[in-house]
Structure 1
Amino acid sequence: MNNKEKLFSRKSPPAQSARMVETIIGCKWSVTVYHLLLNDINRPGEMVSNVEGLTTKVLNACLKKNVEFGILERIAYNEVPPRVEYKVTNFGNKFIKIIDQLEALQTEINLTE
């Protein structure tokens, strides 16, 4: 075996899109959050109370990552008590369609096995 130069190095950072997909899919709650938002459950407290096993700490980390990548938008209202809601951005809608296609592909694979 010769010592050809490798195409990829473990030390090189992934492209922005690859990092985004790894980060979002790596958070097992992201897809659940998308389904909640599609069902008009857009406040963090509502999300936690509607999903068994989801904690506020984990949800906040998941929401923060999604906001950083531009998938979700955080809307803070200047009210007492403070109110925060999340909504899917235009980019987020496109991203979620891709995730839906991946889920459909997985279902198709499972049916053919």
Structure 2
Amino acid sequence: MNNNDKKISRIQGPSESARMVETIVGCKWSLTVYQLLAQEINRPGEMVRAVDGLTTKVLNQCLKRNVEFGILDKQVFAEVPPRVEYQVTPFGQKFMVILEALKDLQSKI
């Protein structure tokens, strides 16, 4: 048997998903937003009123990042006054499982 038969390819880390997890977990408010959505609080104004210390500016930045990653979906209604609602996407549901696993791991450390 020659040496070429034994070589194993180097495995690349999941750079995009790692960046996503780091960004979301690093955001002070993302996990709170997910908790609000689980309680069916899905409008930005309701979210700001439901959480002390959460500002509209910071919430909008957080929601925008989550929409860009495909974790949340933004639905805009053509009404006056304008109405916007957010919900977790199917991909976001899978991502929530990862966050729960990280939470469980943290509790064991």
Q: Same fold (TM over 0.5)?
A: yes
- Determine helix, strand or coil for the equivalent of 1:86: strand
Counterpart Cα distance in 1 of 2:102 and 2:16: 19
Deviation, 1:108, is 2.3
Deviation, 1:107, is 1.5
1:55 paired to 2:67: no
Alignment of 1:8-87 (within 5 A): 15-87=15-87
TM, length-normalised to structure 2 = 0.84
Unaligned runs of 5+ residues in structure 2 are 1-13
Deviation, 1:73, is 0.1
1:90 paired to 2:98: no
Counterpart Cα distance in 2 of 1:51 and 1:42: 13
Aligned partner of 2:99 in structure 1 is 99
Unaligned runs of 5+ residues in structure 1 are 1-13
Cα shift readout 1:19-75 (whole Å, capped 9, x = no counterpart): 111211121100000000000000000000001110000000000000000000000
Amino acid at match of 1:54: L
- Determine helix, strand or coil for the equivalent of 2:84: strand
Counterpart Cα distance in 2 of 1:35 and 1:97: 13
Counterpart Cα distance in 1 of 2:107 and 2:22: 20
Counterpart Cα distance in 2 of 1:69 and 1:26: 14
- Determine helix, strand or coil for the equivalent of 2:107: helix
Q: Quote the sequence identity (%).
A: 68
Larger Rg: 2
TM, length-normalised to structure 1 = 0.81
